[in-house]
Each structure stands twice: as C-alpha cells, then as structure tokens.
Amino acid sequence: MVIVSSNSDSDDSHKLREKKRFVDISTPSDELIVRNEESMRPSKFRDFIGQIQLKKLLSISVEASLTRKEPLDHILLYGPPGLGKTTMAMLLAEEIGVKCHISSAPALERPRDILGIILNLKDCELLFIDEIHRLTRVSEELLYPAMEDFRVDLTVGRGSSSRIRSISLPRFTLIGATTRPASISSPLRDRFGITHRFDFYNFKELQMIVERTADFFKLAITKEASYQIACRCRGTPRLANRLVRRVRDFATVKGQNKKIEESLVNEALNLLHIDKRGLDATDRKLLTNLVQFHGGGPVGLDTLAASLGEDSATLESVVEPFLLQIGFLERTPRGRVITVEARNHLSQ
C-alpha cells in the first residue's frame, strides 16, 4: 500500500475531510506502512463487519463482473462520515484484484486534475472520489461521457479553429462517496448503476469492531468493557476505533495494562465527556442551545448553526444524523425540534 497523504484519526469533522488526499493502493498483499487508521481498515471483504445488505449486493456484482471480465458498475455510497465507505471501496478493489485510486472532490477542482487520474487508469480499475457532491461543474461534466461511454471530449485549439477531440478511456469503475446525497446533481446521480446508503451500526456489530481493534493493539478487554465502548461511539466504526485508542492511553497512564475492564472504560469516557448514550459535548451543546434559546424549536438549520457558531453543513451531515437516529431530534418543515426523550436525557 502506498500512501501519499491521508486523513488523520481526528478527521470526521466535515472541514478536515476537505483535506486533499491521494491514496494509491498497489497490490492487496503489500505491506502496511502506517499503524494508524489506514492500517486498521479491514483488509478482506469478509472482515468488513455489518452492512449485510450492501455486502450481499456487491458480492453478486463482483462475481458477475469477474465472470464476464467486465468492470463493476459505477457505485454511489452515501451516509455520515466514518461508516466505512472508503474501506468498502478498497475492499472491492481487493476482491477484484485491481488498484483503487483514491481522491476527493476538493483535490479535483480543475478538469486537468481529474483527467490526470482517469487517463492513467487501467482496465477495470477503481476510482474512488470522496465528497463527490463537491465536484466543480466542469469536472463533473467531464465525468459524464467518461462514466457512460469511457471517453473524454476535449476542446483542442481556440476560437473558430477549435474542435472537439474524443479520447477513449480504459473501462473503469467510479465509486463516489458523499455525506450529502441531495447535493449531487441528478445527471451525475443517474450515471451510477448502484446507489447505497450506509446505516449506523448496531451495538453488536460495534462491539465486534471494538474487539477487533483491541486485538490489533494486542489489548485484552472484557466483554462488558467492549460493549460499553460500542454503546458510546455514535454507531460509527471510526469513533469506535478512536475510543479504543483513548481508553488504551488511559490504561497506559493508569498502569492498568493487564485487561481493560468496564470501570476503566467508564472512567476514560467520562473524562472525554462522552455520556451513556454516546452524546459528546457538541451534541449536548446543540440540544441545550435548542432548549435555552429557541424554546426547543422548531428552528431553522442556519439559525441554529449561527447561534452555535458552527458551519451548517457540518451540523447537518456530521452532528444531526446520529441525534435523528436515536430520536433526540426531529426535522420538521418548520425546522429542528428537540424530542421529549432528549429533554429527559438532558435533565438526568
């Protein structure tokens, strides 16, 4: 695996995901060169926990494409950050036995950025574009014929002597990932053969992810302790991994390296202000603000974002989905409303 630059472990905020990156996975068996998030990704399709429907659907597509020696259909994956969209793209490449070229829309501002990548793709290779809804219009338009007919149309020359030159491309698969599917233009969305939503993980799946990560760090952990972390990681594997690292730090400092117990997890997570329902300081700030300054709602997203001093896109794609999922927040036509359950939780 050759990593030119990648996201750090603290990057599930929308802003940091804008960091330009390009990851080139050479061969599946290449040695891992970093012991961070990248090396914690499952390296086999079967090690990918949860998202059962998607795995079923994709294994059929992979088998069909291998049998027919054709590229996979273009795939659009959407859902909150940290749920495994990038990981799934890498695993698909592994399954097919091809390279996965990973980039993100902010790194592909100019058409030549995207051209540079697609002209160098080889037959059946995968191109993963993160935050695809942020592609510029010119880059997006360049992708239309590339996705549909595996060709790009370039304008050569200027003024009256200009002409269109078509260049054939290798047959490739585009995997687009986004946290904001509604922001993708319909011509682009229509060109994806498979569109799938990533859901939050249940406690059992998260517990398996926590135990897998603990194992990766050679950390012994009790069932009760791994379950506690699973309950408090907002249904998100990236956060589960991060909490394991924080608990590990805590155990090291406390000199409790033998076995991670539930009491140690509770102590560590309380210190991080992560409560029993997995709410962190930002979640509580949002809910408290909603009650104190907007009478519990309804209040528009932009007003709420302004009163919190947050960016509304981050609020909508990173903070809100989990609160909506656990029934602490409602989205109504007139704005956001706090639920009775959330009020009860805040008063505990």
Query: Which string of DSSP letters, residue by residue, matches 43-89?
Result: -SGGG--S-HHHHHHHHHHHHHHHHHT-PPPPEEEESSTTSSHHHHH
196 or 294: CB nearest ligand ADP: 196
Q: Which stretch binds ligand ADP (CB under 6 A): 60-68, 223-231, 236-244, 262-270?
A: 236-244
232 or 294: CB nearest ligand ADP: 232
Q: Tokens standing for 291?
A: 């009650």
**Closest separation in Å from C-beta 237 to ligand ADP:** 3
Pairwise CA distance, residues 183 & 29, whole Å: 37
Applying CB under 6 A, which of residues 1, 25, 28, 41 lies at the interface with ligand ADP?
A: 41
81 or 321: CB nearest ligand ADP: 81
Site string for ligand ADP, 19-38 (x = CB under 6 A): ------------------x-
31 DSSP 8-state letter: P
Task: Give yes or no for a contact between 105 and 131, defined as CB atoms under 8 angstroms apart.
Answer: yes
Q: Which stretch binds ligand ADP (CB under 6 A): 43-51, 61-69, 168-176, 318-326?
A: 43-51
243 or 338: CB nearest ligand ADP: 243
Task: Give yes or no for a contact between 336 and 304, defined as CB atoms under 8 angstroms apart.
Answer: yes
- Residue 198, classed as helix, strand or coil, is coil
Give the residue numbers marked as catalytic. Answer: 85-86, 130, 179, 238
Applying CB under 6 A, which of residues 23, 48, 172, 287 lies at the interface with ligand ADP?
A: 48
Site size toward ligand ADP, by CB under 6 A? 19
Q: Which stretch binds ligand ADP (CB under 6 A): 183-191, 234-242, 286-294, 303-311?
A: 234-242
Give 51's contacts (C-beta < 8 A, 6+ positions apart).
Answer: 83, 84, 88, 198, 199
Is residue 233 classed exposed, middle or buried when 0-12, 13-18 and 19+ CB atoms within 10 A define those classes?
buried
Helix then strand count (H, E) for the chain reads 15, 11
Q: What is the dihedral of CA 13, 18, 19, 22, to 10 degrees?
A: 120
**Closest separation in Å from C-beta 156 to ligand ADP:** 37
35 or 165: CB nearest ligand ADP: 35
Applying CB under 6 A, which of residues 72, 83, 114, 264 lies at the interface with ligand ADP?
A: 83
| Contact flag: residue 42 with ligand ADP (CB under 6 A) | yes
104 or 139: CB nearest ligand ADP: 104
Site string for ligand ADP, 192-221 (x = CB under 6 A): -----------------x------------
Task: Give yes or no for a contact between 278 and 231, defined as CB atoms under 8 angstroms apart.
Answer: yes
Chain residue whose CB lies nearest ligand ADP? 84
Give 276's contacts (C-beta < 8 A, 6+ positions apart).
Answer: 231, 232
For 13, phi then psi, to 5°, come to -80, 145
Site string for ligand ADP, 157-186 (x = CB under 6 A): --------------------x---------
Which residues contribute to the site for ligand ADP (CB under 6 A)? 37, 40-42, 48-50, 81-87, 177, 209, 237-238, 241
